[in-house]
Amino acid sequence: MKKVYRNATEALDGLLHDGMLIASGGFGLCGIPELLLAAIRDAGTKNLVFASNNAGVDDFGIGILLQTRQVRKMISSYVGENAEFMRQYLSGELELEFNPQGTLAERMRAGGAGIPGFYTRTGVGTIIAEGKDHRDFNGQTYIMEEGIFADLAIIKAWKADETGNLIFRKTARNFNVPAGMCGKVCVAEVEEIVPTGSLDPDAIHLPGIYVHRIIQGAHEKRIEQRTVRKRETA
């Protein structure tokens, strides 16, 4: 099975359609599938629903798809750092389904494991719990959350072999593993593709069984918020 493609456009060929649900890895600007997001923008696919921790910033990450009005709904934990996200949500142009971060990660992982729903205490007694099934276990109230089964998963990794086994670099692993698990098709962009058999099996973070297409590309190393000390003067 061919998994290595030449570029993001080729890797997404035949996968995109209006109104689809896309699970996207990354946290802030760390580990985001920037090349695949740019290719989705260029394809013009619209009315998209994104399950992602956040939407990047105004001109990077999912933020570029908000600028072009290609996103209908976000399933997210954090909406800061993106003025356009805030503007569209407050004006009613963008739907938003808030999820606690752990709940969002578990919803993705559950989808990847074929689990349609699970119970959690997180969100009980808040707006998060409205309209959801409540059950008591051992004297504690839980709410049911549904697993996320995405039409497409787009993620970014550090290294891949030709069969799709992936290694992520440090905190860039973040939401990429559960996002990659929950897509019917998973496309990964990586910094390096190495020959099959050259990766230590014990170091694999996401097995190739979950990964269907891979591209290698050059990535921009952005800093979301640069904080420096004031220069000391004598």
The pLDDT of residue 221 is above 90: no
pLDDT, residue 48, reads 98
Which residues, other chains included, contact 72 with Cβ-Cβ below 8 Å and sequence gap of 6+?
19, 46, 47, 48, 49, 94, 95
- Is 199 inside any structural domain? yes
Instruction: Give a yes or no: residue 224 inside a domain.
Output: no
**Confidence tier at 227 by pLDDT (50, 70, 90):** confident
For tokens 């007694």, what's the residue? 125
pLDDT at 140 over 80: yes
In a domain, 68, yes or no: yes
Q: Which helix (H) or strand (E) holds 111?
A: helix 101-112
Label residues 19-53 b or e (16+ Cβ within 10 Å = b). ebbbbbbbbbbbbbbbbbbbbbeeeebeebbbbbb
Instruction: Please check whether residue 80 lies inside any domain of the structure.
Output: yes
Rounded Cα distance, 60 and 95, in Å: 20
Q: Is 95 a member of any domain?
A: yes
Contacts of 20 by beta carbon, 8 Å cutoff, 6+ apart: 45, 48, 49, 151, 152
Give domain status of residue 233, yes or no. Answer: no
- Determine, yes or no, domain membership for 221: no
CATH assignment of the domain containing 118: 3.40.1080.10
CA 214 vs CA 39, 153, 209: distances in Å: 14, 12, 13
Q: In total, how many domains does the chain have?
A: 1
Whether the per-residue pLDDT at 113 is higher than 80: the answer is: yes
Burial of 197 (0-12, 13-18, 19+ CB in 10 A): exposed
Whole-number Å distance between alpha carbons of 208 and 91: 42
Say yes or no to pLDDT of 224 above 80: no
Q: Do 182 and 154 touch, CB atoms closer than 8 A?
A: no
Host domain of residue 60: 8-216
Q: Give the pLDDT band (50/70/90) at residue 102.
A: very high
Q: CB count, 10 Å around CB of 183?
A: 28
pTM of the shown model: 0.93
Q: Which tokens is 215 given? A: 């591209």
1 part of a folded domain: no
